[in-house]
Amino acid sequence: MKQLILDLAPDADPTLDNFVAGPNAEALQALRELATSMRREAVVYLFGAPGSGRTHLLRAVVSGFSHGRSAYVAAKVGHALPDPLPDLVAWDDVHTLDDAGQARLFGLQIRLRESGGVLLCAGDVAPARLPLRADVVTRLAAGVAYPLDVLADQDKAEAVARHADLRGFRLGREVIDYLLRRHARDLPALIRMLEALDRYSLETKRPVTVPLLRELLAETGA
């Protein structure tokens, strides 16, 4: 039953407004301008370690893009391209592309350049270090690149507290500190646990406290 609580806890819809920038304020501002068409670089590339917010930002730009059609492509799932060609394509995890995926990305680069569209990509390393074809790397490196840093604990605490506010309850600092000490440190996992804690609180009709969180962690094995 308690595992069901965790399984049913939905991920928050990624937006630029609910992204806690921390040290990534420059990248966030650039993406806000891209989403509202205040700037139109042909190629924008984000890179950082897992948990730095790459996927969140790509999905947020796609959902908030206000100047035509947009699409998100997950390289780890597949690389089918939408037809007709959108005005912006966000291609995630390009560092994982196989030969067929790289060929598709190269073709997309050419088509978007000809149409005046935007290619927004994300990977785990800087463009020049990508283990991809030289022609693909050259085109990615010719764009604007923004490094993303993993949030510090203080920024993660802010993100968790903000998400609790959005769900309509106040999360005490002692609960946040306990969560950061005892649970997975990447932000998506923390948010999922917060949402599970909210559900568990409603189910048991008990306030969100450290003892309640400790009980949930013990019963779910999280």
Render pLDDT for 67-120 as a digit per residue (tens, 0 to 9).
899 999 998 766 677 778 999 999 999 999 999 999 999 999 999 999 999 999
Percent of the chain with pLDDT over 90: 59
Reference 81, options 44, 110, 55, 52; nearest CA is: 110
- CATH of residue 213's domain is 1.10.8
Q: What is the pLDDT of residue 162?
A: 86
- Give the residue from 130, 148, 166 where a domain finishes: 148
Polymer length in residues for the chain:
222
Q: Which among 131, 148, 165 is the end of a domain?
A: 148
pLDDT band at 4; cut points 50, 70, 90 = very low
The verdict on residue 188 lying in a domain is yes
Digit-coded pLDDT (tens) for 38-76: 777 899 999 999 889 999 999 999 999 998 999 999 987
Structural domain contains residue 101: yes
Q: Which of 97, 119, 148 is the last residue of a domain?
A: 148
Same domain, 190 and 107: no
Domain span at 213: 2-8+151-220
pLDDT value, residue 222: 64
Mark whether 35 and 128 lie in a shared domain.
yes
Verify that 80 and 119 share a domain, yes or no: yes
Report how many domains make up the chain. Answer: 2
When pLDDT is cut at 50, 70 and 90, the band that residue 187 belongs to is: confident
Write out pLDDT tens, residues 141-156.
999 999 999 888 888 8
